[in-house]
Structure 1
Amino acid sequence: MSEFAIRPEAIQDAVVAALGDKVRRIDVALGEVTLHVAPADYLAAMATLRDAPGCRFDQLIDLCGLDYSTYRDSVWEGARFCVVSHLLSVELNQRLRVKVFCADDELPVVDSVNDLWASANWFEREAFDLYGIVFEGHSDLRRILTDYGFVGHPFRKDFPVSGHVEMRYDAERQRVVYEPVSIEPRDITPRIIREDNYGGLH
């Protein structure tokens, strides 16, 4: 750890002091601080983290969606969709991870932080595109990586590997056309050949 870096426990204390009962959970692991907030408190908490004297997280350096439905290949008991943000304070030389779980698995919604940090714009659009998470208050929430006619959200754990539709250029119509997927999904089990003396090992 750099001699100028703030101890994680000091960051934890500053965040708890600034947010009070908006802290649902806060952990220190591997030298990093992770804060959990409720969806109803998310926007207000993020504004406080940006402005409070002990926090001063002036930069949002990353934001992404997560699908916990098959977390660690087991049954997940909590909410399915989560938004994770990584904040940086240049002034105080400290970092913070913030997690907020969407209240509704069928229609995952959280507030947009685009008005707090302009860098959230494309990050939130990506999470919307890939996971279907809706960012309430985002001024231009539309797909950013997939085509506008794309069906579904490809980073969801239940999205089929082959997708739902395929597109190709039709020379007769002189345009791109969408059609049902022509690839038939199949399970392939690799055949393993074991030799008694493979590689000279006994």
Structure 2
Amino acid sequence: MTTRLEKLTENLQAVLGTKLTRTTTHVGEITVECKPADLLDVCTVLRDDTALKFEQLIDLCGVDYIDHGEGTWEGQRFAVVYHFLSISLNHRLRLKVFAKDDDFPVIPTLVDIWSAANWFEREAFDLYGLMFEGHPDLRRLLTDYGFIGHPFRKDFPMIGNVEMRYDPEQQRVIYQPVSIELRNVVPRMIRDEGFHNG
């Protein structure tokens, strides 16, 4: 007897075949991968094929793999991970796409396939610097317009680059280099060697 996950995996392979570069199942969830060039075709099939019917894009996030596996990662640095839901067939799917260029990561937008991608893609752009080709309004969503860098990248400094403050002399908000002193925040252990329990 075929399980639901096995049936979904068979359907994905039958419909998408070589457009999927990898398929894995872990803890009851299927993850598939495809190349950026195939993303729009793959997603259109995921949504429209009667054996799949992924009507909803429920989440999209960026991932920075720069230090993955304690520095043993040899693949591309940035990926976008999509989470899909089929309400009518009651199954879920994760799709991962790696950007080809680590210096300027670009992935096609999914806004024309699922309109929910709009804000998700803006968030991934803002926090990871991922570009979504064809996005109708790709601008920052969570950080200030003057913000420098992308704070979820693993090489972004923990104290940031600039800080914003109100200057009473100029009577306006100004940006300046971060003025936080680096310090050791590891707690010290104080042991009382003469401590006795009653």
TM-score over 0.5 for the pair? yes
Cα distance in 2 for residues equivalent to 1:198 and 1:129: 53
Number of the residue aligned with 2:16: 19
Q: Is the 8 Å Cα contact of residues 9 and 28 (structure 1) preserved in structure 2?
A: no
Paired-residue identity, %: 56
Task: Select 1:108's aligned residue among 92, 105, 108.
Answer: 105
Contiguous gaps of at least 5 residues in structure 2: none
**TM-score under structure 2 normalisation?**
0.93
The one-letter code of the counterpart of 1:43 is: L
Please tell me whether residue 94 in structure 1 is matched to residue 105 in structure 2: no
Which string of whole-angstrom CA distances, capped at 9 and with x for unpartnered residues, describes residues 18-61 of structure 1? 11110100011100000010111111111111111111100000
Cα distance, 1:197 vs structure 2: 9.0
SS where residue 60 of structure 2 aligns?
strand
Q: Is the 8 Å Cα contact of residues 69 and 75 (structure 1) preserved in structure 2?
A: no
CA distance 1:53–1:176, shift in 2 (3 Å): same
Number of the residue aligned with 2:181: 184
Cα distance, 1:92 vs structure 2: 0.6
The one-letter code of the counterpart of 1:176 is: V
SS where residue 69 of structure 2 aligns?
helix
Number of the residue aligned with 1:35: 32
Aligned-CA RMSD value: 1.7
Cα distance, 1:198 vs structure 2: 7.6
Contiguous gaps of at least 5 residues in structure 1: 1-5
**TM-score under structure 1 normalisation?**
0.91
SS where residue 135 of structure 1 aligns?
strand
Cα distance, 1:15 vs structure 2: 1.1
Number of the residue aligned with 2:67: 70
